[in-house]
A and B are shown apart, each in its own frame.
Chain A
Amino acid sequence: MSSLLELRDLSVHYRTARGEVTAVRSVSLGLAAGQTLGLAGESGCGKSTVAMSVLRLLPRTARVEGQVLLDGEDVRGMSWGRLRAVRWAAASVVFQGAMHALNPVHRVGEQIAEPMRLHGVTGSVSALLDQVELPARAARAYPHELSGGQKQRVMIAMALACEPRLVVADEPTTALDVVVQAQVLDVLKRLVSERGIGLVMISHDLSVLASTCDRLAVMRHGQVVEEGPAREVITSPTHPHTQALAAAFPTVGDPASRQVTPSEGAGGPVLLRASDLHVSFGATKAVAGVDLEVRAGEIVALVGQSGSGKTTLARTLLGLRKPTSGRVLFEGRELPRSASGLRAYRRQVQLVLQDPTSALNPRHSVYEAVAEGLRIHRVDGDESARVAEALSQAELRPPELFFPSLPHELSGGQRQRVVIAGALALGPRLLVADEPVASLDASVRGEILALLLRLRRELGLAALVITHDLGLAWTIADRVAVMYRGELVEQGTVEQVLLSPRHDYTRTLLAAVPHAQRSTRPNWTSSP
């Protein structure tokens, strides 16, 4: 087995203002043709740096040690001309974030043809589009006319343009929702098996890698901590970091990853109720007739693809947007319309946003961010004591230590805790959390979810968690509502909906979840 790509003792250091930072520390990996290698790890672990070093695409400040052998030839020793010839013709990259990697002012056909023109290769754009299951007329489209999944497939077609033997895919499905992700992964898998190319796939999501890769390497702090056949790494991880990563993406139906007992959170009085709620933007109906209940002390997961209207529904329930028709009732009373009435309502229902980095004003310290709500509502009493209490409820201890910190000095998980503390300071009864862990690293996700559960147990806090991740719903929710094109197509307890789904759309969503075939996977497709 001749290896297509071989990394020997690769180290990469970056020169920064604070001295040299080592991003990758003596990594050795190999990949043969027709194989898929998964590179897993959290943000900042050096996985993208490894990928970019293959084509010498690192910034000038990087210093590389060791060998990067592409078909036995060291990339580091190549002349500029040779490197240009190798880039794309021998190895190509599917960049992270297809939204930004395509030039918005050129038709995608031209962009796919660009590497062919540069390398003097003949080929047909429509054949390439066909390979990624796009119609030939897509070549005439501009990037903004395509959906996220289509753009990602264009990126893959572009990577295949010069028939490379190696493709490096950097987080190819991160911004996509489950159904589209499954389609893109299928395309990649098929290409590897049909054309015998080698694929290096980078992701923070072990379940994505588990479903596509033969071999898996888990990185942490620039080092490979575990490497082996994908199935083995997932099912019996030996390194604690791998175990944490694997646990962060629970399998639906696996009792071990379910963290609520069915008796918990049931039977409270109805806190929030939406009845026949409609919200339209001009002609498009974002929410079309939704009936939803959240009881006191209950965690409800609202699941759906992007564009299904779940965020609009959440905004309407919070009173941030006026419904076109229908009613929202909180404890049996209709949501107030006046500014002061809404302000009083906000003490009861609070919002936790997806990306804590942008949800916190970068100029405000942690203290100010948490005290903001208290100041708006002119809450009497000792402000700093209340802030300290909210911070320690959100498990930022000791709270005084965090008072003067600015958001950029905190980690992603800590920032999300600050957002949660800001909501808790007002003593709400219900939290509406919009994808509360989607932008967080795997190991932090579990902690934040555990925090939500603990708040429910200790403070009786109800939560409406909006997510596209069925595994998350399985982990923490009591009830699940599935949203599709503005309507709730199915709702019920987690066990009912996720283990024996009745609606086709729920089945599609469940089928699209990448899974590692771990252990007790229920065979729900055979149920009626």
Chain B
Amino acid sequence: MTAIAWQRRRAAARATWREFASQRGGLVGLIGLAVITVLAVLAPLVTDASGLDVTRVTARPWEPPSASHWLGTDHNGRSVLLLTWWGTRISLVVGLAATVLSVLIGTVVGIAAAHFGGWVSAVLMRFTDFFLVLPSLVLAIALSTVLPRGLGTIVLAIGVTSWPATARLVRAQTLAVEARPFIERARALGGGHGHVIGRHVLPAVLPLVFVNTTLTVASAIVAESTLSFLGLGDPTRVSWGSLLHAANMHGAVSQRAWWFLVPPGLGVVCVVLAFTLCGRALETVLNPRLKGER
């Protein structure tokens, strides 16, 4: 009889998609994301990774855009187009991984705090407040200085510092859902914590978590760029933040090498904008209260 449930879920997914597709902003964001993701995945197949190796460059440093190097070259003579293209991969991976980590912590803490109440809630919420009041960038900088440098550290630093807002949001939504009488009915039927959370609370909270995820990705990508720009990223990998860091370090401004500064910056803007557009559209679809205001 799960066939009924699946049929209904498919129908619900179709309806959600139709509503999403009716919003031009969300659609533009989604198409943008799809293009960027495909480019990032295809980078090793379409381009030659040896172009990233400083010892193998042939072009001169600080070359302005030309037919052979569309976006010019950096201080080592590497193609900025190639660097930016490869930078997409790291930015997306870090952004998504950090978001998954942050949303996971936030959801678990939020649901647990609201569901169990009492001292569990008090402890968890004070813990959340502690992270909420710490300046997250400073905390992330501190973490990535202490821990060994690498991709994992950046993900951890961003993930561990950006979850409190999600936790608060999820807690509020869980409290609202748990006040509904069908939760009491489930308890009266004999359902335990696992049943109430798994069958009733989680499905009701997930849409919100989903929206929150897409919006968190955007800020995680910005955070990654910030940390890398400050020189705290993985030095062996190219990311947009580390490109900007390199440009700053080697005097791209004094060289008037705008072609080195603008592409990674625009990359960040495009991805963040695309995620935000998607998130807002999704929010409108899943949160009926916002619909009237359009």
A residues with CB within 8 A of B: 318, 320, 339, 342-343, 346-347, 350-351, 353-355, 358-361, 363, 365, 367-368, 371-373, 376-377, 383-384, 387, 403-404, 406, 419, 422-423, 426
B residues in contact with A354, CB < 8 Å: 181
Residue numbers in A under 8 Å from B184 (CB-CB): 320, 351, 353, 359
> What residue of chain B has the Cβ atom nearest to residue A318's Cβ?
B188
In the bound complex, residues from chain B placing their C-beta under 8 Å from that of A355 are 181
B102-110, B198-206, B240-248: which one contacts chain A?
B198-206
With both chains docked as a complex, state the minimum distance between the C-beta of B175 and any C-beta of chain A, in angstroms: 16
Given A359-B182, A376-B195: A320 touches B189 (CB 8 Å cut-off): no
CB distance from B254 to the nearest CB of A (A): 59
Given contacts A404-B4, A404-B7, contact A376 B191 (CB under 8 A): yes
**What residues of chain B lie closer than 8 Å to A404, measured between beta carbons?**
4, 7-8
Q: Can you pick out 25 interface pairs between chain A and chain B where the beta carbons lie within 8 Å of each other?
A: A320-B188, A339-B192, A342-B190, A343-B190, A346-B188, A347-B190, A351-B184, A351-B188, A353-B181, A358-B181, A358-B182, A359-B184, A359-B185, A360-B182, A361-B199, A368-B4, A368-B5, A372-B191, A372-B199, A377-B190, A384-B1, A403-B1, A404-B8, A423-B189, A426-B189
User: What number of residue pairs across chains A and B have CB atoms under 8 A from each other?
Assistant: 73
Q: Pick the contact of B189 from A384, A406, A422 — CB < 8 Å?
A: A422
Contacts of A403 in B (CB 8 A): 1, 4
Q: Please judge, given known A-B contacts A372-B189, A372-B191, A372-B199, whether A367 and B1 are in contact too, CB under 8 Å.
A: yes
CB nearest neighbor in A for B5? A368
With the chains together, A91 CA to B4 CA distance in Å? 53
Which of A343, A365, A376 has the most chain B CB within a 10 Å cutoff?
A376
Contacts of A359 in B (CB 8 A): 181-182, 184-185
Chain B residues near A361 (CB, 8 Å)? Answer: 182, 186, 199-200
Report chain A residues within 8 Å CB of B4.
365, 367-368, 403-404
How far, in whole Å, are A350 and B191 apart by their CA atoms in the complex? 12
Cβ contact of B190, chosen from A346, A371, A383, cutoff 8 A:
A346
Q: Nearest A residue to B177 by beta-carbon distance?
A: A361
A359, A406, A426 pick with most chain B CB within 10 angstroms: A359
Nearest B residue (CB) for A346: B190
Q: Are B7 and A343 in contact, CB atoms less than 8 angstroms apart?
A: no
3 closest cross-chain pairs (CB), A and B:
A346-B190, A351-B188, A373-B189
Distance from A246 Cβ to chain B, minimum over Cβ atoms (Å): 30
Given A346-B188, A350-B189, verify A363-B204 contact (CB < 8 Å). Answer: yes
Distance, CA A339 to CA B191, complexed state (A): 10
Given contacts A363-B203, A365-B8, A368-B5, contact A353 B185 (CB under 8 A): yes
**B residues near A347, Cβ cutoff 8 Å:** 190
Residues on the A chain within 8 Å of B203, using CB: 363
CB-CB under 8 A from B180, the residues of chain A are: 358
Tell whether A373 pairs with B1 under 8 Å between CB atoms, given A320-B184, A360-B182, A361-B182.
no
Nearest chain-A residue to B180 (Cβ)? A358
